[in-house]
Amino acid sequence: APASKAFTAFAIEADNQGLIRGRKEWNMGQRASDTRGITFEDMRVPAANVLGKEGDGFKIA
């Protein structure tokens, strides 16, 4: 697939078992919101949680 179709957007609950939060990063000038890496491990996303169409993640972001 072309890069423009490489990502799909979805929403999940914060307490989902497959969601692993990384350490909080300290960014200069951006203290209003947390920045941290996230990892998805053995997680399934229900079709109802997909935002837009599959492959349209860049358009949604």
Q: What is the CATH number of the domain that holds 53?
A: 2.40.110.10
Segments forming the whole domain that contains residue 13: 3-60
Distance of CA 49 to the CA centre of its chain: 12
Identify the pLDDT of residue 34.
81
C-beta of residue 59 within 8 angstroms of C-beta of residue 52? yes
Total domain count, the chain: 1
Identify the pLDDT of residue 40.
94
Distance of CA 16 to the CA centre of its chain: 12
C-beta of residue 24 within 8 angstroms of C-beta of residue 34? yes
How far is it, in rounded angstroms, from Cα 26 to Cα 34?
A: 8
| 3-61: pLDDT as tens digits | 778 899 999 998 988 999 999 888 777 677 788 899 999 998 899 999 999 999 988 88
Whole-prediction pTM value?
0.69
**Amino acid occupying residue 13:** E
Identify the pLDDT of residue 53.
92
